[in-house]
Amino acid sequence: MMNIVIMGAGELGCHVAALLSREKHNVILIDRDSKALQAAAETMDVAIRQGSGTDWQLLDDLLEFSPNLFIALTSDEETNLVGCSIAKNLKYPRTIARVRHERYLNRTRLDFARMFDVDYFIGPEILVAHDILKYILSPGTEFVEHFAHGALKLVTLKVPEGWSKGAMPLKEFGLPENIIVGLICREIHNGDHLEKQIIFPHGNDTIQQGDEVTFIGASGTIQGVHKLFGLSQKTIRSAVIIGGSLTGLHLAKLLADRDMEVTIIDKSYEKCCILAERLRNCTVMHHDGTDVEFLKAEKINSADIVIAATNNDETNILAAALGKEVGCDDALVVLSNPSFVPITSRLGLGHTLSPRIVATNHILSQLYSGKVNTLISLYDDKAEIMELTVSQDSKVIGIPLSELGPFLPKDFLIVMIQNRGRIMIAHGNRIISPGDTVIVVTSPKHAEDLQKIF
């Protein structure tokens, strides 16, 4: 359990505070806005302090709280940098600062991390652009992530209608030896509405049509998992980005650097001028990206994917839906509010990304750095993927995985063991040794207990 001070009660700050509070950390939330603080206090178990995170006396007073970490998450990056600098000079052990522009990450001339005593920068818009790129480079997936320095890959696929092996238990499925099913998300009827059921799969579980199935395996082998379900992987060579937001700008740069054909559309003339100056290898169009006649006239249907990345969720949903309506095969939606995901799913816009969730995952990975090296939260924090380092006194050392049941919760699965650089998928005969790295899929309620077990 840690004591954490968060500066900024906006969307990201409140999301991080709520998640950390649920994981039994002590959180103090700072903001100038008393209404925002009061709203936060009514919905989560956190302490609040009205004031500025750049007020050194306020931060000095909070030292009585023995803080382990200071996280600056306001929308103003200069305020975040100054807040971290003050906190570190007051002897806060660690600091994290939210930034929006890549210039703070470029150390060619200036090292902003050293100048402002920031231990870790978090850039939601930059991170989500990189996650979109991973999706584009792995078409047909719902989610992609890498572990073990790229040797291991996580891929989430949606099982198509007509899947014929729904009655077959996983133990008879015949997956390649170095691939494992790590998680299943299934929609079930609860009265007159659908709910997502999260399954931590074991041998007798099955895969049903419509399920979202998360596979984890060796990067070179897992590319072929699509074929198990008859899913095609069309190479993406052209993209239309609707919205010249920071996410759109970062993404356009990433795609253009890979020689993809990129068109970016924004209804602000001033923003288009800036985009044209910074994106010399892209086509910039000044227009409303939700104008369906314009989309038809510009033959948007010829693009391999349309990405809606404005700063407005409703606009993004509409723009992506219209992109598919005019004939674009694939559409991706950037959402600040993950509660819109069920709507996008019903509209056939299966792939969404949230800067808030992506940033939170990276913050959590820093929070647990050391014994827990990586942490990803999935399905509104109902499941977490952790990369754990096994200590010398772990309770699970030397015991075959098939015999670990009494030591571990049921909503938990070990999927990979890394021993002296060797990657092994976690089959029943494997054993864990001191110093190993293991990747596990677990319910978040077990996070603290797992650190004790491993």
- Residues 188 and 252 placed together within one structural domain of the fold: no
Phi-psi map region of 247: left, alpha, beta (phi>0 left; psi -120 to 50 alpha):
alpha
* Model pLDDT, residue 139: 65
Domain limit, last residue, from 323, 357, 391: 357
Hey, is 290 helix, strand or coil? coil
- Whether 450 and 440 have beta carbons less than 8 Å apart is answered as yes
Domain limit, last residue, from 122, 138, 171: 122
- Residues 350 and 380 placed together within one structural domain of the fold: no
- Residues whose CB falls within 8 Å of the CB of residue 354, separated by 6 or more in sequence, listed in order: 128, 334, 335, 336, 337, 338
- In this prediction, residue 368 has a pLDDT band, given cuts at 50, 70 and 90, of low
Output the average pLDDT for the chain.
87
Determine which of 29-38, 81-90, 302-311, 338-347 has the lowest per-residue pLDDT on average: 338-347
How large is the average pLDDT for residues 349-364? Answer: 84
* Model pLDDT, residue 371: 58
How large is the average pLDDT for residues 45-53? Answer: 94
Which of 147 and 182 is assigned the larger pLDDT?
A: 182
- Residues 172 and 263 placed together within one structural domain of the fold: no
- Residues 195 and 295 placed together within one structural domain of the fold: no
Is position 169 within any domain? Answer: yes
End-to-end CA distance of the chain: give it in Å, rounded.
Answer: 16
Find tokens 């990201």 and name the residue.
12
* Model pLDDT, residue 75: 92
pLDDT tens for residues 402-439? 888 777 888 888 888 888 777 788 888 888 988 888 88
Which of 128 and 1 is assigned the larger pLDDT?
A: 128
Q: Which among 91-95, 326-330, 338-342 has the top mean pLDDT?
A: 91-95
* Model pLDDT, residue 385: 85
Domain that holds residue 150: 129-229
- Residues 142 and 99 placed together within one structural domain of the fold: no
Q: What are the backbone dihedrals phi and psi of residue 303, each rounded to the nearest 5 degrees, phi first?
A: -75, 150
Q: Which among 35-49, 137-151, 367-381, 395-409 has the top mean pLDDT?
A: 35-49
Is position 297 within any domain? Answer: yes
pLDDT tens for residues 438-452? 888 888 787 777 777
* Model pLDDT, residue 423: 79
Joined together, the tokens standing for residue 276 give 């044209």
Is position 244 within any domain? Answer: yes
Determine which of 12-16, 363-367, 368-372, 403-407 has the lowest per-residue pLDDT on average: 368-372
How large is the average pLDDT for residues 330-352? Answer: 83
How large is the average pLDDT for residues 80-105? Answer: 92
The answer to whether residue 78 scores a pLDDT higher than 60 is yes
Joined together, the tokens standing for residue 82 give 């100054």
Percent over 90 (pLDDT), the chain: 43
Q: What is the CATH number of the domain that holds 9?
A: 3.40.50.720
- Residues 172 and 203 placed together within one structural domain of the fold: yes
How large is the average pLDDT for residues 39-51? Answer: 93
Is position 362 within any domain? Answer: no
Is position 380 within any domain? Answer: yes
* Model pLDDT, residue 370: 53
Joined together, the tokens standing for residue 95 give 């600091």
Domain count, the chain: 4
- In this prediction, residue 369 has a pLDDT band, given cuts at 50, 70 and 90, of low
The answer to whether residue 76 scores a pLDDT higher than 70 is yes
Across 116-131, b (16+ Cβ under 10 Å) vs e yields: bbbbbbbbbbbbbbeb
Is position 184 within any domain? Answer: yes
Which of 176 and 3 is assigned the larger pLDDT?
A: 3
- Residues 118 and 143 placed together within one structural domain of the fold: no
Domain limit, last residue, from 122, 145, 167: 122
191 exposure class (CB count in 10 Å sphere: 0-12, 13-18, 19+): exposed
d(CA 292, CA 340) in angstroms, rounded, equals 22
- Residues whose CB falls within 8 Å of the CB of residue 123, separated by 6 or more in sequence, listed in order: 98, 99, 100, 101, 102, 104, 105, 359
* Model pLDDT, residue 202: 84
- Residues 292 and 318 placed together within one structural domain of the fold: yes
- Whether 92 and 5 have beta carbons less than 8 Å apart is answered as yes
- In this prediction, residue 74 has a pLDDT band, given cuts at 50, 70 and 90, of very high
Across 94-106, b (16+ Cβ under 10 Å) vs e yields: bbbbbbbebebee
- Residues 26 and 81 placed together within one structural domain of the fold: yes
Is position 284 within any domain? Answer: yes
How large is the average pLDDT for residues 24-43? Answer: 94
- Residues 114 and 214 placed together within one structural domain of the fold: no
- In this prediction, residue 246 has a pLDDT band, given cuts at 50, 70 and 90, of very high
d(CA 123, CA 103) in angstroms, rounded, equals 11
- Residues 111 and 138 placed together within one structural domain of the fold: no
- Residues 253 and 346 placed together within one structural domain of the fold: yes
Q: What is the CATH number of the domain that holds 390?
A: 3.30.70.1450
d(CA 51, CA 63) in angstroms, rounded, equals 15
Find tokens 């979202």 and name the residue.
212
Q: Is the pTM of this model over 0.95?
A: no
- Whether 341 and 335 have beta carbons less than 8 Å apart is answered as yes
pLDDT tens for residues 171-220? 888 787 788 898 999 988 777 777 888 999 888 889 988 888 998 888 77
d(CA 385, CA 381) in angstroms, rounded, equals 10
> What DSSP string describes 93-119?
S-EEEE--SGGGT-TTT--HHHHTT-S
Nearest to 183 by CA among 200, 202, 206: 200
* Model pLDDT, residue 348: 79
* Model pLDDT, residue 102: 82
* Model pLDDT, residue 374: 52
> What DSSP string describes 35-77?
HHHHHHHHHSS-EEEES-TT-HHHHHHGGGG--SEEEE--S-H
Joined together, the tokens standing for residue 273 give 């001028």
The answer to whether residue 97 scores a pLDDT higher than 60 is yes
